[in-house]
A and B are shown apart, each in its own frame.
Chain A
Amino acid sequence: MTTSKKNVRKAAKRSSANTTEKVEKETVKKLVQPKTEIKHIKALVMQAEAEKTTLDTVYIVDDSNIQITLEVNVGAEGQTSDMTIMLDKRVVVQNLAGDFSETPLGTNNQLNGEKLSIVANIADTSRDTNLTNLTIHLKGGVSPNNFPLCKTVNEQGDSEDYLCLIEFFNPLL
């Protein structure tokens, strides 16, 4: 592995984590740092825990030929979903009910600059919960990342739309 790749991976580990777990780990590491930074980390934790249905972010890739895979899980138990996934103008899957199982999208260097869009509607058909959620799992880039989104609807039968946009980006090019 080249030195630049190592740097990218090290830097990615330090970069803003998308999951609460990662942010909490960062918090522990940086306890000795200034109060302003701790406040910033706390804000990130709160942000990760809040309900959200939209996502606009980047997924860091490198110049390797390693395949990047995508998996999307919907929930909660018994909810009814419909989902369309596109990579730029190319349709990956259209009007899919249920989960999107782990699928390779392309290599790191192929995907750099491409935009992945995921649009879903999740209807509350469960008698046990009003929670709807959608979790995007991306693997194969600089580091694996999960993007959890959720929303508790007000009433039985309500549905929630999820709009997600993820750009594959190599910051060293």
Chain B
Amino acid sequence: MKMIFLIMLFSVVSFFTAKSQIDSEGVKLDLLKAPSSPASNLLGIAASDIDKPTDVSAFMLSLQKGTGNYTALPSNYAIDLAPYWLFKKKMGDVSSEGLKKSKGSDVFKQTFVVSFAIRNTDSSETVLKPNTVYGGLGFKFSIFRGDYDKQTIKQLGEIKKWQDIQLSIKNKSLADYTADVSVIELQARRKNLIKEKFRMPVDSTLKIAELDTDIAEITNALEKRLLELNENTNSDAKAKIKEVAASFQTARVGFTWDVSGGISAQFLNRRFDNSKVYNAGVWTTLGYTGEKSGSLLFLGRLLYNPDEIFAKDNGVYDIGNIFTFDFGGRYIYSFPQSKFNASMEGVYRSVLSSNTLNPSWRVVFNADYSIWENQKLTFSFGRNFDGAISKDGNLIAALTFLKGFGNKR
């Protein structure tokens, strides 16, 4: 299958190179998926430009960068905030074991993301209205996200087996440490100092500080000793853990259900007292991913575009609020842990708010192959909703090579 894909890929690339230049935006991949950042999606901000802080410090840094050291409102800025991970005080079990067991409200909390985006267009803007400020607000969460697949469970079991061996070795090291006479002596000295400290009058702050210093010194010496013992006790088990853990990747199978929504506003002439809704939408994706059968997804999407200009049947242009409802399906030929993915999707768009506009449809074939981590060869071919943009109703995007620079994670 991979061979056929590569042959097909290169022959199609050479044939369609000229045609690929027609559509500079290309076919959007993964349309049939609730967007991870709805606010940015509504304003057409690239995924790579979205800040995703994982702690409060990173969030403040992101805000500082976006606002020019807190001196101005951000001009072009997009951020996704996951409250559960950002304000982590009491999170529950987030280890691979905890994430395996999490269900119901845990899944909602762990996947809930709020996205904000702001875009300031200049006079050269072609897609959005020039010299206008756009602001977006969105959310996303999962209701079901599936369970670990067999390969993931097998790898975790393998890691656990070697960790059990490693623990038995380390338990013995700790037992040796606690039986060491010099360690016992130091611990006894520390306890005497603590006793002395607790018998001091409350106002003897200097003496208490001195005792604290002595206690801290003994504790440091003991922990240093324990660290040396820890570092000097090596075993093959650790290398075995690495063998499996280095290539470990979590994959989930079963039912999945994602929901997301967002709304964006347009501030004409950059005036905050002159605003209107630019667009709004709600997405939901329901699907099933099998171990051997690939994935089948169903999409429902409601989009609202006010004051849209459209052509009527008699050729006269009109302006109105457009409500569209998209529904469709996507089959993904992909197996958990696989490098090769191919998918076919079809979406039917019905216009709810107008009898003048005809329904439309879109069919796209996508394929991608992960060459290495962070590097993908992708290909897509299909017809978009707006047949007039591409010639003969076909929209053809060429081969794209995506390469992430820097660290592989």
Contacts and interface: CB of A to CB of B under 8 A. Distances in A.
A52 B95 CA distance: 19
Given A128-B409, A161-B166, A171 B219 contact: no
Interface string B243-254: 111111110000
Contacts of B215: 16
Contacts of B156: 80, 97, 125
Interface in A110-132: 115, 117, 119-121, 123-130
B194 A78 contact: no
Contacts of A16: 212, 215-216
A117 to B, nearest CB: 6
Dominant SS at the B interface? Answer: helix
Contact of B247 (A30, A123, A157): A157
A108 interface: no
Contact of B226 (A44, A56, A58): A56
Given A159-B242, A171-B194, A82 B249 contact: no
B246 A54 contact: no
A119 B230 CA distance: 11
A10 to B, nearest CB: 6
A90 interface: no
B159 A123 contact: yes
A95 B167 contact: yes
Given A78-B250, A125-B159, A171-B198, A15 B223 contact: no
Interface in A94-148: 95, 97-99, 115, 117, 119-121, 123-130
Contacts of A130: 409
Interface residues of B, number: 64
B213 interface: yes
A10 B216 CA distance: 19
A80 B95 contact: yes
B350 to A, nearest CB: 40
A18 to B, nearest CB: 10
Contacts of A77: 85, 94, 99
B95 A74 contact: yes
A125 B94 CA distance: 12
A78 B226 contact: no
Counting chain B CB atoms within 10 Å of each CB, the highest count among A14, A34, A54 belongs to A54
Contacts of A95: 160, 163-164, 167
Given A53-B227, A119-B171, A171-B197, A158 B242 contact: yes
A133 B194 CA distance: 28
A160 B260 CA distance: 38
Contacts of A86: 171
A79 B96 contact: yes
**Max chain A CB contacts within 10 Å: which of B95, B159, B222, B238?**
B95
A155 B91 CA distance: 25
Contacts of A15: 197, 212
A54 B167 contact: no
Given A53-B230, A125-B159, 18 more contacts: A11-B198, A16-B212, A16-B215, A40-B209, A40-B212, A58-B194, A77-B85, A80-B95, A95-B160, A97-B97, A98-B98, A120-B167, A123-B242, A125-B96, A159-B163, A159-B245, A165-B178, A172-B195
Interface of B: 54, 85, 91-99, 101, 156, 159-160, 163-164, 166-167, 170-171, 173-174, 177-178, 187, 190-191, 194-195, 197-200, 202, 205-206, 208-209, 212-213, 215-216, 219-220, 222-223, 226-227, 229-230, 238, 241-250, 408-409
24 contacts: A8-B198, A11-B198, A11-B202, A15-B212, A30-B205, A52-B223, A54-B223, A54-B226, A54-B230, A56-B222, A58-B194, A75-B95, A78-B96, A78-B99, A80-B97, A80-B159, A95-B163, A115-B178, A125-B250, A129-B409, A155-B242, A156-B409, A159-B241, A159-B242
Interface of A: 7-8, 10-11, 14-16, 30, 33-34, 37, 40, 43-44, 47, 52-58, 60, 73-84, 86, 95, 97-99, 115, 117, 119-121, 123-130, 155-159, 161, 163, 165, 167, 169, 171-172
> 5 closest pairs, A vs B, by CB?
A157-B246, A98-B97, A82-B163, A157-B245, A99-B93
